């Protein structure tokens, strides 16, 4: 048996339901090591995990309303990472933003950067999440704003790449 880590926040299911209803998605079968491309975009792609998927979908919805075709990938499995999906999104858009509600060191963003570096696909990547500092205290929304990984930060990051 291999080690497994799973973290579900209290409001995760409600956020996922809201994302599915808001964006008219089908319910996907989760495959171990396989990400889910929820929205295909041509201008940039946000790769998120956990509760941040719902926020990424909202950021993409706002970006699309502003004329920027943003995609969203739900990378519910970080190890093993769906490298094929990451490389396809990188080749299609040339811009990836990763977002996680955890430390960016050694997480989803690092795994995506390793995949891009080793895959040889020219692509710019920005990692959003908790930097390698003591994050302080506050509500989840306050922390997202303070640490720069909320909806506004996602929109700004994908446009800036």
pTM for this model (two decimals): 0.83
Amino acid 113: pLDDT: 96
**Cβ contact 138:146 at 8 Å:** yes
| pLDDT per position as a tens digit, 99-155 | 999 999 889 999 999 999 999 999 999 999 999 888 888 888 898 899 999 999 999
Is the backbone of residue 142 left (phi > 0), alpha (psi -120 to 50) or beta? alpha
Is a pLDDT exceeding 60 seen at residue 96? yes
Stretch among 6-15, 43-52, 57-66 having the lowest mean pLDDT: 6-15
Q: Is the dihedral of CA 134, 139, 144, 145 positive or negative?
A: negative
Q: How far is CA 39 from CA 20, 30, 72, 95, 148, in A?
A: 12, 16, 5, 15, 23
- Distance from first CA to last CA of the chain, Å, rounded? 40
CA–CA separation, 43 vs 32, rounded Å?
28
Amino acid 136: pLDDT: 86
| pLDDT per position as a tens digit, 48-91 | 999 999 999 999 999 999 999 999 999 998 989 999 999 999 99
């Amino acid at each position: 048996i291999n080690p497994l880590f799973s973290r579900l926040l209290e409001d995760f299911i409600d956020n996922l339901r809201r994302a599915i209803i808001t964006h008219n998605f089908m319910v996907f079968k989760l495959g171990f090591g396989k990400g889910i491309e929820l929205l295909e975009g041509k201008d940039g792609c946000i790769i998120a995990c956990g509760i941040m998927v719902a926020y990424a979908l909202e950021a993409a919805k706002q970006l699309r309303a502003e004329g920027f075709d943003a995609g969203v990938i739900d990378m519910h499995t970080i190890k093993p990472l769906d490298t094929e999906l990451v490389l396809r999104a990188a080749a299609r858009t040339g811009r990836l933003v990763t977002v996680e509600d955890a430390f960016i060191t050694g997480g989803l963003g690092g795994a995506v950067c390793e995949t891009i570096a080793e895959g040889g696909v020219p692509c710019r990547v920005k990692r959003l999440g908790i930097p390698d500092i003591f994050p302080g205290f506050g509500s989840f929304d306050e922390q997202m704003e303070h640490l720069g990984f909320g909806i506004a930060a996602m929109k700004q990051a994908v446009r800036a790449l």
